[in-house]
Amino acid sequence: MELYKLTLASILNRKTFAIFALLLIALPFVLPIMTPWETKPSLLEPARSQAAWGLLWVAALGWLLFQGATIGDRWASNGILEYFKTLGVSRFRQIAEIWASVFTIFIGFALITFVISTFTAMPGDPVEARHWMHTNLQYLGLFLIVTAPLLVFAIALGTRINGAAAYAVSVGFALYGLFGIGYLEVFLADNTNLLLNLVYILSPHYHLADLTSRLVFKLGAIPAAEVAQIAAYLGGIGIFLIGLSFPLYREGK
Amino acid sequence: MKKLHHPVTIGFCLMIPGLLLAAAGFFALSSDKPVRTDRNPFALQKSAYGKLLARLSETTIDRAWHLGVEQIVPHIITPEEIEDEAGHDHDHADPSDHAESSDEFVYHVTAEQIDARGNDASQAESTSEEDVFVYEVGEESDPAADHHEHSHSGCDGCSDCAHEAPVARGDESLIERSKLWLAGKRYVKYDRTNPNAISGAHLASVKKEIEGMLLRSYKLDPLHYGAYDSYHLFLTAHEYGGTEQTRKRARLIARLTIQEAMRETEDPLAYLTGAAAAYNLFHMDANRHRAANTRMTPVEVKAHQERIGHLLARFEALQEEAEEKGIWQNLSTDRQMEIVERYLLASRSFEQFDAMLARFAAPQGTIEEDVASMLDVDEL
């Protein structure tokens, strides 16, 4: 657990997490007021939930992956990982401890968002409220299934290449999954070309984990079977990324 | 044994089951319908933030319009300028200054009309016979008579009414003077000193670009009056690249807007936009009849009347409800007045429907008899 403690102490000492935590708490209450809600006050609550989740995605893409990539780079460059290797800490354990330290703080972020989204924007209707709760839980689950393996990937890549490059690659991969596929859909999916279709199928469809529209437009929770399929798909991509991270990870640069 | 702990071995042991699991999930998901993105990441479109962005983009469209289509530099309008604009043939701040009657009016909403001040009701006079979007149903009836003329399209690149860069008068505070200085520099940055006009191709590309911006705004908030109406204009008016094909799209967009408005249960403004869309459908039908040299049947007119009537009635009901709940007071007095004016314009036009239907019901006399009855004389 020494590597876990060391990494966590390092993150806490740098304090950038505090800025994100503050924004995650404050902005969901500030941003909705900036919208033209005057003639439709019922816009405010969904807007709060939308802001909370949007900011959490920003924190995931801007803070989480950056921390993973730079810590991987820093620890590998400074010889810390080689030191732990000489102590007999296995590669698996090293990755797990670094991952756990960054994710400890990030879980706090996710909980802030979950609480704000669930309890400060809950619909009055009891049936809608139940759906709201379920949707938020589903969202949290899928979000973590996407972000947790991406962090492993960013850490492993950071130990292999420069931190900035590792961040660019991991965040690029996440952005491609969230937005890029949507743009390329017409080109990749709406044809009969085997190669293009394969690229489409093999692309990480992270947009499936974005349930914001279900919250904003109160579409209700996704049926359990569908959620299981989405979770299996995103989980599979996650296991693949963790698998890819093992050969990428190295203790010394 | 050692080989089993090799990172590549572990990697493959994870990657292969991972891929299989992902494939199983993907094919299970796509068994009912193909997996497609909803093209609305983080639910931006139609959300509160979409509404905000649609409003914010008005300034950008405004600027693109002025720079690209009119070839003039947008500038800050100070109250003094408005007072001094006697010689200026279009007053940005007061749409009533554009009021002028004409036999044929083109339903025209410039980017200026969707600017932040919300002057989204002014109209433009046609400069070309090819402007298809002309309102005319029956010679006598013209609900568009309340519409105003907006003479941008007739002022030939505004060369004769060049906008001046804002200049400080000397008695402003330091902050005001600094703001004016910055505004002036922005003016200089975009001022066109090339004596030649921009090429036709360039102009066309600017118009397309503006259309793209308008579409984006419309998608962000389909119930925003300016966003919908200006997009409709670009799809229908010939001078902005409107074709038969795009006019068909405009019809669809109008129906979608009405549908979207009908779902609204709280915001009265949605129904004013819906009513504007319903009027647009009516205008388009009228134009179609005009092109085919036929007249609208009473049944068709009645259908339009009912739809517009329903939308306006919903506006009234929701507006009343908003007043009772105290929501209406959230709006500034200026904004309230602007909305009420827009509503009055729509309801005055609506009243013409009854007159139009009455004419259908009345026995068709000769022109001489009609004129005689108009003049209250027995015989001509």
- Closest residue in A to B320 (Cα) is A39
Containing structural domain, residue B332: 49-362
CB < 8 Å to A35, chain B: 48-49, 51-52
Could you read off the pLDDT of A83-103 as tens digits, one per residue?
A: 999 999 999 999 999 999 999
Chain A: nearest CA to B189, how far in angstroms?
Answer: 31
A12 or B181, greater pLDDT? A12
CB < 8 Å to A239, chain B: 14-15, 17-18, 21
- The mean-pLDDT minimum among A34-43, B38-47, B63-72, B153-162 falls in B153-162
Containing A29, the helix (H) or strand (E) segment is helix A16-30
Q: Do B15 and A42 touch (CB under 8 A)?
A: no
Which residue in the set A38, A181, A233 is minimally distant from B26, CB to CB? A233
Structure tokens at B262: 């009908």
Could you read off the pLDDT of B309-351 as tens digits, one per residue?
A: 999 999 999 999 999 998 898 888 998 999 999 999 999 989 8
Residue A196 CA to residue A199 CA, distance in Å, equals 5
User: Which range is most confident: B131-145, B183-197, B261-275?
Assistant: B261-275
Residue B352's contacts (CB-CB under 8 Å, 6 or more residues apart) are B141, B142, B143
Average pLDDT, chain B: 73
Inside any domain, residue B380:
no
Residue B132 φ then ψ, to 5°? -80, -25
The pLDDT, as a whole number, for residue B152 is 39
Whole-Å CA distances, B145 to A77, A121, A177, A195, B41: 77, 47, 53, 60, 43
Could you read off the pLDDT of A153-187 as tens digits, one per residue?
A: 999 999 999 999 999 999 999 999 999 998 888 88
The pLDDT, as a whole number, for residue B149 is 35
E strand intervals along B182-241: none
Q: Which of A224, A205, A63, A59 is CA-nearest to residue A145? A: A205
Chain A: nearest CA to B348, how far in angstroms?
Answer: 24
Chain B: nearest CA to A194, how far in angstroms?
Answer: 16
CB < 8 Å to B267, chain A: 39-40
Inside any domain, residue B250:
yes
- The mean-pLDDT minimum among A64-78, A102-116, B13-27 falls in B13-27
DSSP state, residue A177: I
Residue B229 sits at the vertex; the CA angle it makes with B309 and B74, to the nearest 5 degrees, is 145
Structure tokens at B216: 């984006």
B215 or B137, greater pLDDT? B215
Chain B: nearest CA to A124, how far in angstroms?
Answer: 16
Please, which residues bridge with residue B134 across strands? B106
**pLDDT band (50, 70, 90) for residue B132:** very low
Q: Tell me, what's the ipTM?
A: 0.84
**pLDDT band (50, 70, 90) for residue B29:** confident
Is pLDDT at B92 greater than 80 in this prediction?
no
Inside any domain, residue B10:
no
- With tokens 């209406």, the residue in question is B328
Count of domains in chain B?
1
Cβ count within 10 A of residue B3: 7
Could you read off the pLDDT of A49-80 as tens digits, one per residue?
A: 999 999 999 999 999 999 999 999 999 999 99
Residue A78 CA to residue A63 CA, distance in Å, equals 22
Average pLDDT, chain A: 93
Q: Do B15 and A229 touch (CB under 8 A)?
A: no
Inside any domain, residue B349:
yes
Structure tokens at A82: 């080689």
Candidates A34, A35, A40, A125: best to mutate against B (most CBs of B within 10 A) is: A40
Which residue in the set A229, A237, A241 is minimally distant from B29, CB to CB? A229
Inside any domain, residue B374:
no
Inside any domain, residue B25:
no
Is pLDDT at B155 greater than 90 in this prediction?
no
Could you read off the pLDDT of B285-302 as tens digits, one per residue?
A: 988 888 888 888 888 989
**pLDDT band (50, 70, 90) for residue B203:** confident
Q: What integer is the mean pLDDT of A206-214?
A: 94
Which residue in the set A92, A232, A238 is minimally distant from B24, CB to CB? A232
Q: Do A237 and B18 touch (CB under 8 A)?
A: yes
Could you read off the pLDDT of B159-172 as tens digits, one per residue?
A: 444 445 566 666 77
CB < 8 Å to A236, chain B: 17-25
Structure tokens at B13: 């042991």
Q: Do A39 and B327 touch (CB under 8 A)?
A: yes
Which residue in the set B10, B41, B51 is minimally distant from A179, CB to CB? B41
